[in-house]
Amino acid sequence: MIPINRRHFLGTSAAASVALLGGMNRFALAAGANLSPGVPAGVGSIASMATLPGKKPLIMLADRPPNYEAPLEYLRTPITPNDQFFVRYHLADIPEIDAKTYKIKVGGDGAASPLELTLDDLKKFPAVEVVAVNQCSGNRRGLSNPHVAGVEWGYGAMGCARWKGARVKDILEKAGIKKDTIEVAFDGADGPVVDKTPDFIKSIPAWKALDESTLIAYEMNGQPLPHFNGFPARLIVPGWTGTYWMKHVVSINALTKPLGGFWMTAAYRVPLGKFPLIARFVSQETAVNTPITEMVVNSLITSHRDGAKVKPGKVTVSGMAWDGGYGISSVQVSTDGGKVWTAAKLGQDLGRYALRPWSFELTARKGKNTVMVNATNKLGQGQTSELIFNPAGYHNNVMQNIALVGA
């Protein structure tokens, strides 16, 4: 597999880069058929369906760095297959890593006994599995109105997998984590192609790093991590948005002071008090904003696209619901614009961090049939009927409303 790296970025044209990407197949979207309704009109002119090595066709919104969205149909099952999982990078220099020589440096001023771990060392820790949604913080950014800057994601910058690895807690305990550690920082092997671009380094609160479900994973759905999803090991932060899920982890540092840098102090922040967050990143808060942390409760209709034709009569509408780890308690469906709500049937529960399937039987009639969906979690939090606007386009959990055409 050939990575997207500095040589390709600087020394090739866009067409040549595509050819070098291990035979990446690229073809135009058929009239924007796979784009989510509501993304800016110009997205259809630059997006294409493309196949990265080891992947089925994904919606390519950018190739340097690679940002590839999953089509709606890939999200019809609670576990997203590895070859259908979305791809998100901030930096374009992505090295090919040899598992035999791979190492993670563990240290920082909050570690009494710094150490290095090989992949084999990592696998000697007690193995833990967790099913968890990995969702880009900017998922649905392209649906913001007015539109905002950034990758114009539709619905598919997300997926759910069964992750297996070592607890960060166990790793930190071996490194002698000190009581005055307040954050734990993670760096990946990917880097910038221009020196002035800040390296992508993120931290999480010490309490979150020590959570039983926070892992350095080396398996995804029973297989080694795909290259473009973080091989050979990545950070898993269940319930929190994907900005913290560092890929290709090469260092873990326990810190007694808050981490600085662009990606912490300026990026991935939301206005203070704007969203109903329980899990806050207090050491990084300011008087006006706070780091984005847990995902808000959300749902998605995956069985049908907006405007799909159906036969009059019984039609099963289905999809997925999820939140920041408190658990989905119900999914309600309305067919009259929100006046009357009816409970949908919930499917298999794979854990509080997982996608929760739901289904609803609609009696479709000729003409337009509207379907609106609203999920509620066990804290009583639901979705919003109107966008909670913020400049970065985060936390879009507006109730989805589609039309099915009986014909």
**292-334 pLDDT, tens digit each:** 999 999 999 999 999 999 999 999 999 999 999 999 999 999 9
Banded pLDDT at 87 (limits 50, 70, 90): very high
**60-75 pLDDT, tens digit each:** 999 999 999 999 999 9
Whole-number Å distance between alpha carbons of 390 and 296 = 14
Lowest mean pLDDT among 7-11, 43-47, 113-117, 268-272: 7-11
Exposure pattern of 336-363 as b/e (b: 16+ CB <10 Å)? eeeeebeebebbeebbbbbbbbbebebe
pLDDT at 33 (0 to 100): 75
Dihedral-angle region of residue 26 (phi above 0 means left; psi in -120 to 50 means alpha; beta otherwise): beta
Q: Which two tokens stand for residue 279?
A: 């899990």
pLDDT at 28 (0 to 100): 59
- 57 preceded by a cis bond (ω within 30 of 0): no
Cβ atoms of 184 and 209 closer than 8 Å? yes
pLDDT at 195 (0 to 100): 87
Q: What is the dihedral angle through the alpha carbons of 119, 122, 126, 128, rounded to the nearest 10 degrees?
A: -70
Which H or E run includes 52? none
Using a pLDDT cut of 90, give the percent of the chain over it: 89
Structural domains for the chain: 23-87 (no CATH), 103-291 (3.90.420.10), 298-406 (2.60.40.650)
What are the φ/ψ torsions at residue 170 (nearest 5 degrees)? -65, -40
Instruction: Name residue 330's beta-bridge partners.
Output: 376
DSSP 217-273: EEEETTEEPPGGGTTT-EEE-TTB-GGG--SSEEEEEEESS---SHHHHTSSEEETT
**22-77 pLDDT, tens digit each:** 444 666 565 367 899 899 988 988 899 999 999 999 999 999 999 999 999 999 99
